[in-house]
């Protein structure tokens, strides 16, 4: 509870061929032996994640990846995991050495980084035994990006790498808040927490923790209650709250207990806006009316957990969706880091709030669904729709939805 979740850390990934020293550089940058180092090519078989504080950038996670030049069958499987790392990468370090200078593999990777708009730095490792430095650093094929000479063995250049990361990562580390534009100093905000079977014993789930902290950071007053005590909580206030944020599973109950003029939304909808594109989620939910008998729906979650008998993803959402549409639908479920690139055959994707995924990964998933022509709906937006209170749940974001859509009519339907 005291550590910064991986999903909120800047993701810095190291890429390069086998034996260019990626693992040694990870150890040098973190000051710890977190990655296995060996003279044998291909020692790193799976991505290795290491969280740390890298001042002045703040909390980051370094990712060590397998070598790009492993052509074995296992190597090709490992490359699939490396591609998955790219989806999460905020900043990339591309490592070359005198023995493994710039070539087609590096050019291919930099093309992907450029396409995905991922800033990167080239690290010329093993500079302690560098010969022909000018020929390498002045290679016209090198992209116009920072190049740092470094030695993981001696530590030479490590501070230069950190300085380059800080300079490149300023925009990536700009602080955003889950309650930007919604909460100001002195506001009273009620957080309605639903403690179901999946709630961890003795603590709140991550979205509730993070939203609570975001409200406090705004110098606002946060009141935390269960849905069963909401009416009692409201009666104790001398004036209505500025905002109520609820667990999506009890949207209907909270909507009934709350006066119509009190703004209402959910934790999951806040995450839809924080991690993804809220406007696209809203547009996608409108396609529910197009679902038909036999359609396949993919339900995706960013974390893995033990399923309870009333699990929201495998039980509640399928039941509510079938009831609302009156259609016989087929559901598949994926969780954790797995998200298939092939969405063929699916009519819709329903995604959790993504509290365990960073923005890059969530953007990748939303973009992929868009490219495949498969609408992706967020849990919170879907549940608001199924409870018949979508307009109310999105009204706090009315201005933003209008700006994102670029249509006055679109905005006005929320402001009426």
- Residue 180's CB is within 10 A of a number of other CB atoms, namely 14
pLDDT number for residue 89: 93
pLDDT number for residue 307: 57
Which position has the token pair 């990361």? 165
How big is the CA angle at 310 (ends 305 and 389), to the nearest 5 degrees? 105
Domain 188-269 shares a fold with domain 275-403: yes
Treating both helix axes as pointing N-terminal to C-terminal, what angle do 278-285 and 398-405 enclose, rounded to 10 degrees?
90
Residue 266 tokens, joined: 């959910």
pLDDT number for residue 416: 43
Q: In this structure, are strands 48-54 and 58-64 parallel, antiparallel, or unpaired? A: antiparallel
Distance CA 407, CA 155 (A): 55
- Residue 255: how many CA atoms within 13 Å on its side-chain side? 19
| pLDDT mean for each 10 residues of the chain (416 residues) | 75 91 88 55 67 84 85 60 84 88 86 90 80 57 78 89 86 77 97 78 84 96 96 96 96 95 97 94 94 96 69 90 95 84 92 91 93 95 95 92 50 44
pLDDT number for residue 281: 95
In the chain, where the domains are located: 6-168, 188-269, 275-403
Listed residue (152, 211, 202, 208) closest to 177, CA to CA: 211
Tell me the CATH class for 275-403: alpha beta
Q: Give yes or no for a contact between 37 and 23, defined as CB atoms under 8 angstroms apart.
A: yes
Q: What is the dihedral of CA 47, 71, 372, 408, to 10 degrees?
A: 50
pLDDT number for residue 2: 57
pLDDT number for residue 264: 97
Q: Which CATH architecture group holds 188-269?
A: 3-Layer(aba) Sandwich (3.40)
Secondary structure letter of residue 307 according to DSSP? P
Report the run of H or E that residue 216 belongs to, with start and end.
Answer: helix 206-217
Q: Which CATH architecture group holds 6-168?
A: 3-Layer(aba) Sandwich (3.40)
Q: Give yes or no for a contact between 265 and 245, defined as CB atoms under 8 angstroms apart.
A: yes
pLDDT number for residue 56: 78
Secondary structure letter of residue 248 according to DSSP? G
Residue 391 tokens, joined: 């307009």
């Amino acid at each position: 509870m005291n550590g910064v979740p991986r999903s909120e850390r800047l993701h810095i990934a190291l890429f390069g061929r086998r034996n260019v020293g990626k693992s040694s550089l990870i150890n040098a940058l973190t000051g710890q032996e977190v990655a296995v180092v060996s003279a044998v090519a291909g020692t790193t078989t799976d991505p290795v994640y290491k969280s740390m504080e890298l001042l002045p950038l703040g909390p980051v996670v370094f990712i060590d990846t397998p070598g790009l030049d492993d052509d074995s069958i296992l190597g090709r499987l490992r490359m699939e995991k490396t591609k998955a790392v790219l989806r999460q990468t905020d900043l990339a370090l591309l490592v070359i050495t005198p023995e493994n200078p710039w070539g087609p593999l590096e050019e291919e990777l930099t093309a992907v980084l450029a396409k995905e708009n991922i800033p990167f730095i080239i690290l010329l490792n093993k500079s302690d035994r560098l010969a022909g430095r000018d020929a390498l650093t002045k290679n016209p094929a090198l992209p116009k990006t920072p190049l740092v000479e470094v030695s993981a063995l001696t530590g030479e250049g490590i501070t230069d790498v950190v300085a380059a990361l800080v300079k490149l990562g300023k925009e990536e580390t700009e602080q955003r808040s889950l309650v930007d534009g919604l909460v100001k100093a002195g506001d009273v905000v009620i957080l309605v927490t639903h403690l179901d079977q999946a709630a961890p014993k003795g603590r709140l789930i991550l979205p509730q923790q993070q939203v609570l902290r975001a409200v406090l950071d705004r110098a606002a007053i946060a009141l935390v209650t269960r849905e069963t005590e909401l009416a009692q909580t409201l009666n104790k206030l001398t004036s209505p709250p500025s905002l109520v944020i609820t667990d999506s599973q009890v949207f209907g109950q909270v909507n009934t207990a709350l006066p119509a003029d009190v703004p209402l939304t959910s934790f999951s909808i806040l995450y839809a806006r924080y991690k993804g594109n809220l406007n696209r989620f809203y547009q996608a939910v409108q396609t529910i009316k197009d679902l038909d008998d036999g359609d396949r729906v993919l339900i995706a979650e960013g974390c893995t957990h033990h399923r309870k008998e009333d699990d929201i993803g495998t039980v509640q959402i399928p039941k509510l969706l079938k009831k609302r549409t009156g259609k016989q639908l087929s559901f598949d479920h994926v969780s954790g880091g797995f998200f298939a690139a092939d969405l063929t055959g699916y009519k819709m994707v329903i995604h959790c709030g993504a509290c365990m995924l960073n923005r890059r990964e969530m953007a990748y998933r939303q973009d992929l669904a868009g490219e495949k022509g498969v609408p992706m709906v967020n849990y919170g937006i879907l549940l608001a729709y199924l409870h018949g209170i979508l307009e109310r749940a999105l009204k706090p974001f009315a201005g933003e939805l209008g700006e994102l859509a670029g249509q006055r009519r679109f905005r006005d339907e929320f402001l009426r």
